[in-house]
Amino acid sequence: MIKILTMENSADTATTKILIVDDEMDICYLLSGILRRKNFTTHYVNSLSDAEAALKKEIPSLVFLDNHLPDGFGMDFIHFIKEHYPSIKVVMVTAHDTPGDRQQAFAEGADFFIGKPFTRDIINLTVDKVMSA
């Protein structure tokens, strides 16, 4: 279940839900921990099919999306998200950080791209930037 959060720095009380899609549990735990410190509650899944099911249940404001998943490429899933849920912001998070991957992610509609490994500061800055856009 995705819990509803409020952003402290918002003048109006904005509801924000965050979905993490990554097959590496340590990344899910790490991202969840970082976001929890910013008073977010997250939900994570480990495959594209589980991500699709989660999106049908509740629409998050933000998705952190890995590229190499057991049932496909997150890069291909960006288009699905943007077509069916255009208001969702997508942050691609992948160890395959090449200029070509970045270009393709942005061409598919990603709002931001983070290479692994990442730091807490990078995640915090990215969330602030993406959510204020």
CA gap 107, 104 in Å, rounded: 5
CATH of domain 15-132: 3.40.50.2300
pLDDT the model gives residue 15 = 57
CA gap 103, 109 in Å, rounded: 10
State pTM to two decimals: 0.87
Which of 21, 23, 26 is CA-nearest to residue 44?
21
pLDDT the model gives residue 110 = 98
Strands (E), 61-133: 62-65, 68-69, 72-73, 89-94, 112-115
Instruction: Please check whether residue 77 is in contact with residue 53, taking contact to mean a CB–CB distance below 8 angstroms.
Output: no
pLDDT at 7 over 90: no
CA gap 20, 60 in Å, rounded: 10
pLDDT at 97 over 80: yes
Task: Output the CA–CA distances (angstroms, integers) from residue 96 to 12, 14, 60, 68, in the order listed.
Answer: 38, 33, 25, 9
CA gap 40, 36 in Å, rounded: 5
Please report the DSSP string for 93-109 in residue order. EES---HHHHHHHHHHT
Query: For residues 133 and 62, which has the higher predicted lDDT (pLDDT)?
Result: 62
pLDDT the model gives residue 12 = 29
β-strand partners of 76: none
What are the residue ranges spanned by the domains of the chain?
15-132
